[in-house]
Structure 1
């Protein structure tokens, strides 16, 4: 039964009825949906986790990581371990994400608007809780890629994990609480500029805001070489 449920959930995820970055319904709701016990649901979710489709966090729930099983995508996942790696990935993001932001400004729909707004709020709330807000940061950028309504952009982002966020691999902004807070405050302001431009359907401003955001990060990490 758990295998049948996991297959059905795989289908729901593959059809993007639940999008990458969003959460599965709570256990109780899934029990009602499939008319099975919590044990069956937990086993099904364990199977999804083994395929890299979802991750579960206590008190948060189960979040969709990608729309296809990890073992079906042979592409090497990008991981950051050194300053040079960070600069390389930021160069890549600088060529992709400003255009994604511009396309998102031209193409987003009501669902995209709601998702982007909620994810931006989630990022700001995570910052106030003195976390590094890495998951929330990645989710916001992934939502912009999805708002392009171009599956190629979505596919690129599905190959990236939280390691794509520079501060995930280096503690340069974690020297002390105040330094970290000020850094994340700046990131939040830049996200706000990007979101404002997208929701105003100003493609040029969205492109510029995203480029400014990533270029500032590039310069920050380059200074540590």
Structure 2
């Protein structure tokens, strides 16, 4: 197999994108073992560290699992479907992805600080926002304002006023789906999508409640990188449709 040529950027993220696409296309069948670490190193022409980082990202996203002494396997459960983005929205994708990259730099550290500095008032705010998100999902509604309130409460709990001020300045730019009028997430798939977001938020809250800064940083990173990956995948689907048409 010819070696893959990568564009500039994070090699591990690009490998994650390729492997995610292969999983979704069935090239890596559900329940089956992935190629060995050495096979992936040779195929992609990268270091062992890069391959392991990519596998860790796929594992954090719920796409694969590791069996000690056996290997890495594709999960049997169908993963969360990506956004489907219509043509009028494509011009907004790069902006939304750029904002998500900013959020990683901002909110991962804010979550870590919040885990060490939060008080009961902050926890009440986070729990209230979580409850609102769950209730909205159960009612078949979106939960954008509750989502914003959850992340804003984490910025406030960081104890650094500049995190909160920057969060308030960016406002609804922070939630990508506020920028798109034509996300086609409907029915059970939409409900699954929102439930998945709620699970990611719950993991962040649990780490902050448990005063575990590194766990909070990890949970926030998984949440934001997952949002970025889903948005990027949706854009790729839309671009492919354009080429076909």
TM-score w.r.t. the length of structure 1 is: 0.62
The match for 2:166 is 156
Instruction: Give the drift of 1:173.
Output: 4.7
Aligned with 1:147 (options 149, 157, 161) = 157
Classify the secondary structure of the residue corresponding to 1:159. helix
Aligned with 2:113 (options 103, 106, 112) = 103
Question: For 1:62-141, what aligned pairs fall within 5 Å after superposition?
Answer: 82-141=92-151
Instruction: Give the drift of 1:93.
Output: 0.3
Q: What are the Cα deviations for residues 65-87 of structure 1, in whole angstroms up to 9, with x where unaligned?
A: xxxxxxxxxxxxxxx96110110
Q: What are the Cα deviations for residues 160-215 of structure 1, in whole angstroms up to 9, with x where unaligned?
A: 22242111122565332222111111000000000000000000000000000000
The match for 2:189 is 179
The alignment's C-alpha RMSD in Å is: 1.6
Q: What are the Cα deviations for residues 37-86 of structure 1, in whole angstroms up to 9, with x where unaligned?
A: xxxxxxxxxxxxxxxxxxxxxxxxxxxxxxxxxxxxxxxxxxx9611011
Instruction: Give the drift of 1:146.
Output: 0.4
Aligned with 2:208 (options 194, 198, 212) = 198
Mind listing any 5+ residue stretches in structure 1 that lack a counterpart?
1-79
Question: For 1:45-60, what aligned pairs fall within 5 Å after superposition?
Answer: none
Instruction: Give the drift of 1:123.
Output: 1.2
Instruction: Give the drift of 1:121.
Output: 0.8
Aligned with 1:188 (options 194, 198, 203) = 198
Distance 1:81 1:191, change over 3 A: farther
Is the 1:81–1:169 contact (alpha carbons within 8 Å) kept by the matching residues of 2?
Answer: no
Instruction: Give the drift of 1:157.
Output: 0.9
